A and B are shown apart, each in its own frame.
Chain A
Amino acid sequence: MIYLLPAAREAMRAQARAAYPRECCGALLGRTREGDGAAAREVVRSVPLANAWMGAQERRYLIGSGTVLELERQVEREGLELIGFYHSHPDHAPIPSAFDREHAWPWYTYVIVAVRPELVGPVRAWRLADDRSAFREEAVATLEDP
């Protein structure tokens, strides 16, 4: 289970709409939710990042390792965790592709936002299975605004 604040959710959707037809991407910073099962986490904020993919960005995104290292240091300073990443699927369902699976680690939450010319579709979240065989969908709950 992943808990999202409406602001984080809307920020991701707006970024997906603005980047269309290219993919957008970013990181999810948050913390484990105490007393709500080990797997439950909440996103404190989403951090938009530039898509660093050098080729056609309609079908690919990249967040470089240098950026990830920076994020790791940032969350450490703030007492948070880097709990995952998000990206958009322009004109495609918010379901991980084989390419997504090859480039993923378990534990991280991968949020995908479907986006089309006139509408931003649903936000869905996924986690890679321990044996790397498949993504399992993770429930997304939207929190009340604080």
Chain B
Amino acid sequence: MRTTIRLPAPLRAYADGQTDLPVDAATVSDALAQLTARYPKLRPHLFGEDGTLRNFVNVFLNQEVVRHLEGDHTALKEGDTITLVPSVAGGSSTAAELTPEEILRYSRHLIMPEVGMQGQRKLKAARVLLVGAGGLGSPLGLYLAAAGVGTLGVVDFDVVDVTNLQRQVLYGERNIGQPKLEAAAERLQDVNPYLRIEPHEVRLTSENALPILEPYDVVVDGTDNFPTRYLVNDACVLLGKPNVYGSIFRFDGQVSVFDARRGPCYRCLFREPPPPGLVPSCAEGGVLGVLPGIIGSLQALETIKLILGEGEPLIGRLLLFDALLVRWTELIVHKDPECILCGEHPTLKGLIDYEEFCGVPQAASAEAAEREGIAEMMATELKARRDRGDPIRIVDVREPHEWEIVNLERYGARLIPLGQLPERMHEFDSADEIVLHCRTGARSAKAYRQLHAAGFRRIWNLKNGVIGWIDEVEPTLPRY
């Protein structure tokens, strides 16, 4: 039957620019086969790889959709017109359909109406960035992966160390010495093979933060230092992204969600960082092993709530956790209208030098100045002099619980914690030779200053403290 196929504008380029093409065919499928045989470039736009008509391509025979007739086998009559018309579909989801295997895996989620298929698809479509794969990043990564978050970016450049294993439950003995990103990817992929991991093995800086954060929906702050915390906050505000914040120290934890579009940012809460050294890091001050599990799990919970759009997020609320008292305190945090970043008249329009802002280089030079003019003694020299029988005194200015870990008692060391030094100076004779030490030398430098001011002149600071002694003299002693 002589019929005409009418092409829409987008397809004419693949048929020498023609609109109406005559064919002689018995059925609709014959007509389309002739068309694509004559113009093969049309084929991929009409048919999928499986050879069937693409589901958005509709064939009209005169005024009727062929599907409503007898499908492709609909017979043609002389003078019929076949028109190809697309239906136009799309959307923002990146193919977040769930396979039967995934549906089974997430069934405990799916039976809750608050999650359901729609929520689980949102989780699968979500892109979450974890900044830091340490204490907080461990439970965060595990729970977000298990819950079905589709894409997890992880920023870390560290290597797994044995001292991490007390709290960083992502890693095990076999990962010691391995880059954290590599070990984390293996473990998380094992928890959920459907997870897509995007590793960023870099230190987050003012130069790379915006392009790294930009493609993610939610940023989770699992950092352990103030410069990176302010950097993550500022980058999130500038990009308009929520920042799920958590921090831990010793027995205390904090959690909040900062989203400057809907509430305060970290700068509204803390305009400026504390002076360096006032708040020690976990490496200096310690942290209870379970605490990052509690705080990081709450961050994972808040992240999932943000993705699902369910419940009340911790926006404008700061949760404080005291592990010793087992007490939660909730503080209301208001947006600061004078916040230089997200207030009414922001003056901070880009990222800055966060090391400088947090006083890190200033503190390093102040510490160097503090050590200047201090007489130091190497551990090997102290050992040699004690072995010769010199009546040199060793004073350990650390705390009693540190003395219990490791000490130099068998070389005659005495424990006088730094805080007790002023009232116990009378126990020394300024004619004696005294070597002061702590763990690595910073506290004993302070003790040196105090004794020097009191008139002591025959004093030394043990270089690199008891750690220096272990490194150079007795490597079998325990380190901490």
Contact between chains at B8 and A53 (CB < 8 Å): no
The segment from B80-88, B272-280, B458-466 that touches chain A is B80-88
**SS class, residues of chain B in contact with chain A:** mixed
Contact of B88 among A59, A62, A96 (CB under 8 A): A62
- State in angstroms the CA–CA spacing of A118 and B89 once bound together: 26
Contact between chains at A105 and B86 (CB < 8 Å): yes
The segment from A6-14, A64-72, A137-145 that touches chain B is A64-72
Does A74 sit at the interface, judged by CB under 8 A?
no
Does B112 sit at the interface, judged by CB under 8 A?
no
B379 CB, nearest partner CB in chain A, Å: 58
Chain A residues whose C-beta falls within 8 Å of the C-beta of B90 in the assembled complex: 60-61, 87, 96-97, 99-100, 103-104, 110
Does B369 sit at the interface, judged by CB under 8 A?
no
What are 22 A-B contacts with C-beta separation under 8 Å? A56-B118, A58-B118, A59-B96, A59-B121, A60-B90, A65-B65, A69-B85, A72-B85, A82-B9, A83-B9, A89-B91, A92-B92, A98-B94, A98-B95, A104-B90, A105-B11, A107-B10, A116-B240, A117-B261, A131-B44, A132-B44, A132-B45
**B interface, CB within 8 angstroms of A:** 8-11, 13, 41, 44-45, 55-56, 58, 60, 65, 83, 85-96, 118, 121, 125, 215, 217, 240, 261-262
Known: A59-B93, A68-B87. 19 other contacts (CB 8 A): A23-B92, A59-B121, A59-B125, A62-B87, A63-B87, A65-B60, A65-B87, A69-B60, A83-B9, A87-B91, A97-B90, A97-B92, A99-B90, A100-B91, A103-B88, A106-B13, A116-B240, A117-B261, A119-B240
CB-nearest residue of chain B to A83: B9
- State in angstroms the CA–CA spacing of A89 and B86 once bound together: 21
CB-nearest residue of chain A to B94: A97
- State in angstroms the CA–CA spacing of A104 and B86 once bound together: 9
Interface residues on chain A, number (Cβ under 8 Å): 45
Contact between chains at A65 and B86 (CB < 8 Å): yes
- State in angstroms the CA–CA spacing of A23 and B93 once bound together: 11
**A interface, CB within 8 angstroms of B:** 23, 25, 53, 56, 58-66, 68-69, 72, 81-83, 85, 87, 89-93, 96-100, 103-108, 110, 116-119, 130-132
